[in-house]
C-alpha cells in the first residue's frame, strides 16, 4: 500500500444512544495497516482501534457532532468533522492519523451509517498539514451535498481505484446502494471486457472524458454509461484521489442502435423489394433508385440519380402529360393518379416499351414534396391474362359470366356446346334461360342472396342441379361460383360441369358396392366354415403329439390339413393344397374334408382313400379347372407303423433323433382331378421314439424374399434339426417367424400350411 493512502471504515450506529458503534465494512488496506485481518475487525466495536481514554475525546466529540440532528440541520455546519488523533494497532502501537467522519446515508430512528476516512501522517508532516487537509476535506462536503442532489452518479476513488464516496444516484443506475459500492474497486462493477481494458486508468494520473463504460447492474443486465474522471493532485504533485461522474446512456445508446437498425431495415426492404422503387423530388429529379429499378429499366443507380425521371422511364408521347400533372399537383395539392394502383406504359434504356403497374405517393417534407413510386413489371402478367382468356375459351367446362342484374355478359365455346345456343343468342339474356322452368323463380332469389355475401363456393350443395338445353332437354350439372373483383361492376363467374357421365358411373359404383358387400358377407361365412372344419386343438397322448396351422394368403384359403382317430389304433393325418386361393379353392377344401370324413368310419388304407376321393371329386374339379394335391398318412399306434400315399403333394420330411438330414416320405400318385380310376402307391415305414414328421404345402418352400430367393427345403431342414427337441407347436412358430424374417413381410402370396407329428 502506498504511503498516505486513504483508508476507509464504515461503522453502523444502532439507535440514537449508541455510543459504541461497530465496524460494518472496511477496505483491506485498513486491516493491513493495523495488523489485523478483515475478519478480526468486522463486527467489533470501533473503540478497539482508539487509544485508551474516556470523556470528551476528539473521537467522541466528532461522532456526537456528525450524528447530532440539530447540528446537521444548520446549513452553516459542514457535513463532515475531522480531527487529528491516535489509533492503536494490534500490537498496541500508537499511530497519529487524520480522521474525517461523515454520515453516509440518511439517518433513520434505527440505524445510521458513518464513514471514517483515515490518513496517516507521513514523514515530515505536521499538524498544520492535517489542518490544511481537514479544511480541504470540509470543503468537499459541499461537493457531496451537490452530488446527492444530482441525477448523475458522482463518485470518488482513492489513488488505487477503491471507491471512497458514491452519490445516491448509483442506486438508480446500477441497483447498488452507496454502502455496497464503498470500499470496492471500480473494476468489480465492470463487464469482463471493460475490466481488462480499463485496468490502467487508476494509475494513469491522466483525466478521461466521455469514456464508454459497460457496467453490470445488480440484477445482471448491462448498463452503458459515459464516464468522466479527473485526478485530484496537490501542489506537491501527489495524487490525492479521483473524482468523476457517470451518466447513464443505456436508453440513448439503445435508441441510437434501434434507429440505425431501423434505417438498415428500411434500406434492406427497399433493395430487396420485388418492385422497382423510385423516389423523385418536386423538380422531377431522381433522388433514389433501388436494385430492381436497375434490372427493370436498365439504368444503374449512379446513372439514374440526378436525372429527370420522365427522361428515364416515361415514353416520349407521355412526358408532357407527366410534367403537367406534376405542376398541377404542386399548385393545387391534388392529382388524379396519386395514391392509386394504375397500369401504364414504361420505357427501358434500350427504348423498348412494356406494361407496368405502379402507385405514386407524395410525402411533404417541410415546404417541399418528394414522390415515391412503386413500379412492377406486369409483362408476364399480361401474357398470362391472355393465356387465361385462351384457357377460358378452350376449357372443357361451360363458363358463364353474369352481372349483378343476372344478365349474361360472357360465355365460352363449351357453353355453346353444352346448351345448344350460339354466343349471340346468350349474351344479354337473363341467366335463367339456362335453368329448367320449375327452378327459375327460386333461382332469382338465390342469385340476389349470393350477391349480398359473395364468396367462391359450389352452388346448391347437397342438391341435384340441372341445366336446360335449347331443345328443352335437361341434364345434371355441377356449378361453381366465383366473384370477379372489378372496380367498375360486380361480376359472377359460373363454371358449369356436365355430370351426366359421372351420375351414370356413380350408379354403377353403388351397385358394385352392393355386390361387394354381398361377396364380403359370403367370404365371412366361408371363413367361419373353414375355421370350424380345421382341428380345434392338437392331439396329445403318451405316445405321440400332432398339431397344425394354416396361414391363408387371402381372406380364405385353399390349403387344408386334418387329423383324427379312425379307430382306437389308427390316427389319420391329411394335408392338401387346392390350386389357387380365395373362396373357390376354399369350397373345394370343404368338399374334400367332407368326403374324407365320410370314409373315416371304415378301414380304408391311405391309397384306397385317395382312389375313392379322386373319383368322387373328378367331375367337379374337371369342370372348374381346379386340381388338388394331397398327402395321406395313417399311423398305427400299436405297431408304430406309418402308412402313407401321395397325390402329387410335396413329400413330408421325417427327422430321426441325432440325425442332421431329414428323409422325404414319398410315393407315386397323380394329382386329384386329372384322371379317373388312378392307382395310388402306398408305402409303410416304422417310427422310432423321437421321430418327427413335418407336412407342409409349397407356400413354405417357395416363399421369396426381395431378391427373388426361395426359402427352400435346406432352410426348413436346418430349422428342424436345430429345434427338434421342441414341441410341435413351438417348431411351427419358429418356422413361421424365420419365414417372415426371411421375406421381411407378414403376409405371403400363397397359402402356407404346416402340420407336425412327433412320436414320444
Alpha-carbon distances, residue 383 vs 292, 295, 297, 352, 387 (angstroms)? 21, 20, 19, 16, 6
Instruction: Tally the C-alpha atoms within 13 A of residue 387's C-alpha that lie toward its C-beta.
Output: 6
DSSP symbol at 434: G
Position 125 scores a pLDDT of 52
Cell of 747: 403376409
C-alpha cell of 7?
483508508
Distance linking the first and last C-alpha atoms of the chain: 103
- Residue 52 C-alpha cell reads as 485508551
* pLDDT score of 266: 72
Cell of 481: 361460383
The 8-class DSSP code of residue 317 comes to H
Q: Distance between CA atoms of 743 and 215, rounded to whole angstroms? A: 70
Which cell goes with 304?
439514374
Nearest alpha carbon to residue 625 among 579, 681, 568: 579
Give the Cβ contact number of residue 139 at 10 Å.
11
> Strands, DSSP E only, in 569-638?
570-578, 628-636
**Which grid coordinates belong to 651?**
413329400
- Return the bridge partners of 647, or none: 630
Look-up of cell digits 373315416: 600
CA geometry: angle 633, 634, 639, nearest 5 deg? 135
β-partners of residue 355 are 345
Burial of 585 (0-12, 13-18, 19+ CB in 10 A): buried
**Cα separation of 627 and 585, whole Å?**
9
Provide the phi-psi class of 199: left if phi over 0, else alpha when psi is between -120 and 50, else beta.
alpha
Q: In the 8-state DSSP scheme, what is residue 360? A: E
Neighbours of 747 (CB within 10 A): 10
Q: What is the pLDDT of residue 389?
A: 79
- Locate all alpha helices (DSSP H) within 150-200, ordered by sequence: 169-174, 178-181, 192-197
Residues 615-664 have pLDDT tens digits of 888 888 877 778 889 999 999 999 999 999 999 999 999 999 989 999 99
How many CB atoms within 10 Å of residue 705? 14
Decide if 434 contacts 400 (C-beta within 8 A): yes
Mean pLDDT split into 10-residue runs, the chain, 760 residues: 64 78 87 90 88 64 74 47 84 87 66 81 50 52 55 87 90 92 91 82 79 91 90 84 89 79 73 84 92 93 93 94 91 86 93 93 87 90 82 87 90 92 93 92 84 72 84 92 74 89 88 81 67 82 93 75 91 88 71 80 87 87 82 94 95 93 94 90 95 94 92 95 94 95 89 93
C-alpha cell at 579: 390350386
CA 44 to chain centre: 61
Q: How confident is the model at residue 54, as a pLDDT?
A: 43
* Cα–Cα distance, 592 to 617 (Å, whole number): 8
Nearest to 649 by CA among 610, 600, 602, 595: 610
**SS3 letters across 19-56:** CCCEEEEECHHHHHHHCCCHHHHCCCEHHHHECCCCCC
C-alpha cell at 621: 374339379
Nine cell digits for residue 659 = 440325425
**Are 474 and 435 in contact, with CB atoms under 8 Å apart?**
no
Residue 108 cell numbers, joined: 433513520
The C-alpha atoms of residue 367 and residue 730 are separated, in whole angstroms, by 99
Length of the chain in terms of residues written: 760
Q: What is the pLDDT of residues 658-709, one digit of tens each?
A: 899 999 999 999 998 888 899 999 999 999 999 999 999 999 999 999 999 9
Quick one: cell of 64? 456526537
| Model pLDDT, residue 3 | 45
SS3 446: helix
C-alpha cell at position 469: 338445353
Strand order in the sheet with 342-347: 286-289, 276-281, 368-377, 353-365, 342-347
Say which residue the cell 394368403 belongs to: 553
Residue 448 CB coordination number (10 Å): 12
Question: Rounded to whole angstroms, how far apart are CA atoms 585 and 558?
Answer: 4
- C-alpha cell belonging to residue 688: 422310432
Distance CA 668, CA 103 (A): 124
Are residues 496 and 418 in contact, defined by beta-carbon separation less than 8 angstroms? yes
Amino acid at each position: 500500500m502506498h504511503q498516505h493512502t486513504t483508508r476507509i471504515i464504515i461503522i453502523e450506529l444502532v439507535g440514537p444512544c449508541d455510543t459504541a458503534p461497530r465496524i460494518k465494512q472496511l477496505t483491506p488496506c485498513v486491516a493491513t495497516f493495523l495488523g489485523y485481518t478483515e475478519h478480526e475487525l468486522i463486527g467489533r466495536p470501533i473503540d478497539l482501534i482508539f487509544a485508551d481514554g474516556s470523556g470528551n475525546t476528539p473521537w467522541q466529540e466528532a461522532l456526537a457532532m456528525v450524528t447530532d440532528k440539530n447540528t446537521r440541520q444548520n446549513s452553516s455546519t459542514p457535513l463532515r468533522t475531522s480531527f487529528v488523533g491516535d489509533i492503536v494497532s494490534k500490537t498496541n502501537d500508537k499511530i497519529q492519523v487524520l480522521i474525517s467522519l461523515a454520515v453516509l446515508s440518511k439517518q433513520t430512528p434505527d440505524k445510521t451509517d458513518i464513514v471514517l476516512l483515515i490518513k496517516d501522517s507521513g514523514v515530515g508532516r505536521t499538524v498544520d498539514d492535517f489542518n490544511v487537509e481537514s479544511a480541504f476535506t470540509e470543503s468537499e462536503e459541499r461537493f457531496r451535498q451537490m452530488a446527492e442532489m444530482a441525477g448523475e452518479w458522482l463518485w470518488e476513488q482513492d489513488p488505487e481505484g477503491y471507491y471512497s464516496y458514491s452519490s445516491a444516484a448509483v442506486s438508480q443506475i446500477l441497483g447498488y446502494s452507496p454502502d455496497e459500492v464503498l470500499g470496492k474497486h471500480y473494476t468489480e462493477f465492470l463487464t469482463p471486457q471493460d475490466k481488462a481494458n480499463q485496468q490502467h486508468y487508476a494509475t494513469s494520473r491522466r483525466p478521461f472524458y466521455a469514456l464508454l463504460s459497460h457496467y453490470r447492474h445488480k440484477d445482471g443486465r448491462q448498463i452503458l454509461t459515459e464516464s468522466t474522471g479527473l485526478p485530484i493532485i496537490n501542489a506537491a504533485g501527489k495524487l490525492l484521489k479521483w473524482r468523476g461522474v457517470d451518466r447513464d446512456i443505456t436508453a440513448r445508446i439503445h435508441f441510437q442502435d434501434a434507429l440505425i437498425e431501423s434505417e438498415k431495415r428500411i434500406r434492406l426492404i427497399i433493395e430487396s423489394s420485388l418492385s422497382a422503387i423510385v423516389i423523385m423530388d418536386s423538380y422531377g429529379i431522381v433522388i433514389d433508385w433501388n436494385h430492381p429499378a436497375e434490372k427493370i429499366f436498365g439504368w444503374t443507380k449512379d446513372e439514374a440519380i440526378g436525372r429527370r425521371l420522365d427522361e428515364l422511364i416515361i415514353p416520349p408521347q407521355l412526358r408532357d402529360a407527366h410534367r403537367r400533372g406534376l405542376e398541377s399537383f404542386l399548385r393545387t395539392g391534388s392529382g388524379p393518379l396519386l395514391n392509386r394502383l394504375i397500369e401504364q406504359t414504361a420505357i427501358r434504356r434500350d427504348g423498348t416499351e412494356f406494361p407496368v403497374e405502379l402507385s405514386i405517393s407524395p410525402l411533404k417534407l417541410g415546404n417541399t414534396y418528394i414522390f415515391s413510386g412503386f413500379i412492377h413489371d406486369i409483362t408476364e402478367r399480361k401474357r398470362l391474362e391472355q393465356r387465361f382468356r385462351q384457357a377460358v375459351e378452350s376449357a372443357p367446362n361451360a363458363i358463364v359470366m353474369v352481372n349483378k342484374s343476372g344478365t349474361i355478359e360472357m360465355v365460352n365455346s363449351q357453353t355453346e356446346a353444352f346448351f345448344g345456343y350460339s354466343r349471340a343468342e346468350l349474351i344479354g339474356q337473363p341467366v335463367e334461360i339456362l335453368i329448367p322452368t320449375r327452378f327459375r323463380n327460386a333461382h332469382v332469389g338465390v342469385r340476389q342472396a349470393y350477391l349480398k355475401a359473395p364468396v367462391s363456393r359450389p352452388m346448391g350443395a347437397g342438391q341435384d342441379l340441372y341445366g336446360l338445353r335449347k331443345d328443352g332437354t335437361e341434364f345434371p350439372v355441377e356449378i361453381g361460383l366465383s366473384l370477379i373483383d372489378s372496380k367498375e361492376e360486380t361480376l359472377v363467374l359460373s363454371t358449369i360441369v356436365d355430370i351426366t357421365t359421372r351420375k351414370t358411373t356413380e350408379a354403377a359404383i353403388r351397385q358394385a358396392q352392393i355386390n361387394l358387400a354381398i361377396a364380403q358377407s359370403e367370404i365371412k361365412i366361408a371363413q367361419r366354415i373353414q375355421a370350424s372344419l380345421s382341428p380345434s386343438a392338437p392331439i396329445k397322448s403318451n405316445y405321440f403329439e400332432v398339431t397344425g396351422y394354416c396361414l391363408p394368403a387371402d381372406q380364405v384359403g385353399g390349403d387344408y390339413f386334418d387329423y383324427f382317430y379312425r379307430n382306437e389304433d389308427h390316427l389319420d393325418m391329411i394335408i392338401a393344397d387346392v390350386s389357387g386361393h380365395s373362396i373357390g379353392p376354399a369350397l373345394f377344401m370343404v368338399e374334400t374334408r367332407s368326403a374324407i370324413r365320410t370314409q373315416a368310419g371304415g378301414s380304408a388304407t391311405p391309397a384306397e382313400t385317395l382312389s375313392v376321393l379322386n373319383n368322387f371329386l373328378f367331375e367337379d374339379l374337371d369342370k372348374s379347372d381346379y386340381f388338388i394335391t394331397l398327402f395321406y398318412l395313417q399311423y398305427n399306434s400299436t405297431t408304430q407303423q406309418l402308412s402313407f400315399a401321395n397325390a402329387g403333394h410335396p413329400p413330408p420330411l421325417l427327422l430321426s433323433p441325432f440325425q442332421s438330414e431329414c428323409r422325404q416320405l414319398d410315393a407315386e400318385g397323380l394329382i386329384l382331378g386329372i384322371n379317373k380310376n388312378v392307382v395310388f402307391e402306398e408305402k409303410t415305414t416304422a417310427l422310432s421314439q423321437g421321430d418327427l414328421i413335418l407336412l407342409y404345402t409349397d407356400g413354405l418352400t417357395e416363399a421369396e424374399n426381395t431378391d427373388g430367393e426361395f426359402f427352400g427345403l435346406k432352410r426348413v431342414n436346418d430349422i428342424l434339426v436345430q429345434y427338434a427337441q421342441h414341441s410341435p407347436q413351438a417348431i411351427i412358430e419358429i418356422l413361421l417367424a424365420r419365414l417372415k424374417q426371411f421375406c421381411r413381410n407378414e403376409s405371403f402370396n400363397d397359402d402356407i400350411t404346416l402340420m407336425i407329428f412327433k412320436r414320444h
